[in-house]
Chain A
Amino acid sequence: MYIHNLNPSIKAITVILSVLLLTMVFDPITPFLFLVWIWILTIFVAKVNIKKYLLYFSPFFIFAAGMFWTNIAFANEPINPTEVVSLFGNTIPIEDIQTALSLSHRILTFASLSLLFLLTTNVVHFILSLMQQCKLPPKLAYGILAGYRFLPMIKDELVLIKSAHRVRGINRAKTLKENVHQYKRFIVPLLASSIRKAERTAIAMESKGFTGSRERTFYRQFTVTTKDWLFMIMMLTVLVTLITLAWQIGYFRWYTGEI
């Protein structure tokens, strides 16, 4: 439960920093090793429900696969065109395969990092913490929370609008033009009712004395303690160590082509 109890802002910043660092890596092994590390954290430390995890994670395999073959099919001119391997009857430069693998692994690693964050963080606490630790203005923080509250209502309304329109005798759209038109027909009532809700909510909030001023007290107080900094240091150390190791062994690459 250690990861669940971390300060949400620090957790988010750690994820963002890791992603930024990984963006510079173009070899396949470094992101893969880091991916394994995140999986270990997710399964053994955060103890996330594996079934749920796989459900969320599976689309990224498709995504990564798409990335892989696009990279091979549309790769830039390799620097060493002589080193090739044979794959599905085609000769492909090793370099292209490495880049392709690297970018696919990168997608999987990004996804694992994000899921580690999403599955261990209460999003409301995340916003409250952004306000308390990262100086997010209260007007934005509570405005976002108020808007986010509409989510279930909007979902229900979309279903209602769909059946209400069916009763009016609207048929399934066939052409692109009909599709765009239909999209507009759904979205305008949804937006209109959300805007009215937003106005009413704003009035209710202000009538409870909300001014957007930073001078307010907090029922739920978020703090940053040693354990939060330790988490950030640990994550970044692992990543930097992996990159350094890769560098020393000699398989590390960052972007070496031309922009």
Chain B
Amino acid sequence: MSRRQYDDNRISAPEMTITVTSMIIGVGILTLPRVLAGTTESSDGWISIALAGCFGMLLAFILGKYGVLLGNETFYDFIGKLITKPIAAGLMIVVMFYYAMYASYEVRAIANISKTYLFERTPSEAIGLTFLLIVCYAVSGSRIGIIRLNTLFLPFVVVLTMVVLFLSNTIIVWQELKPVFVTKPGPLLTGAQESGFTMLGFESILFYSTMMKRPKDAPKAAVFGVAIPVVLYMGIYLACVGIFSQAGLQEIGYPAIELAKEVKIPGEFFERMESVFFTIWIMTIFNSCTMAFDMAMHAGYSVFKKGKRIHWVILLAPIIYYIGMMPKNVIAFAKYGSFISYIGYGLIILLAILYPFAKRKVKRSWASGSTGGNA
């Protein structure tokens, strides 16, 4: 007789991988092929994606390592011991605003893209508001529920991307992918930086690794979580170059969605695949947005330790909505996106640098703890 038990509030390594992947895949990839076409030559953008992916995996690995150190503490309590409470509190408030902005970016992106592909007359404020309300409904539930939503939605998105890539197989002009390796290192690195922005989200491992059954698996799960988007991104990018050519790609607003437009569905059951593609894609954008909102709440709550979830939802939702609607046009919005990404990478790199110190400190406390026990 075997006895299997699972704790209700714990997540397994595959679920953590799915979480990281869902957090990463969002709005970024929809525009990435255009951005890459602007910086790199021919189809060399995939090198940039790969470089960014490797860098992301490295950072994800380091941040995943925190999972073991944290134990049952929240991230704030842990980092507070390392760099004193006030600095940690300041850091967490930055984290809170970072994630609030992240969520607001997603809300605004949904509004913008829906306006382009689904609606003609509905105002984008209304679109964004309904989306945010649904997100509020999700975050006022349980954290474990948010993780489970990822598990429910990600398969749709991955399968859909696979189907689109498979169907686009027939219309790709392979000639467009050549020549290869013609871009200089400089532009490649610029492209890698741009790709890196779309990889943001793997730092969610910091906040969710404490919920894992075995936090030891966190680094591995995070690395896999980054690897899946990297592969998908490369596929989408190459297909875009193959179909639109590098020159044409620069003119297309959301190449990944346009890719779906070009695809012909066998049987011609319905037309304009891009609407369906984006509709399904909303699920993963929703996941990213929900988790960002949740982490903003979590960061805020860990500092102030006051209020229920619903209070934080009510507090943050108007802020998110307001800053999301602030950028006046697409250019301002793109700038806003880069701004968030810089903050994100700043935080991530800071934490990655802190890791060796954190580890030494924890080791020392473990060592002193054990000797204390013996004496």
The answer to whether A and B assemble together is no
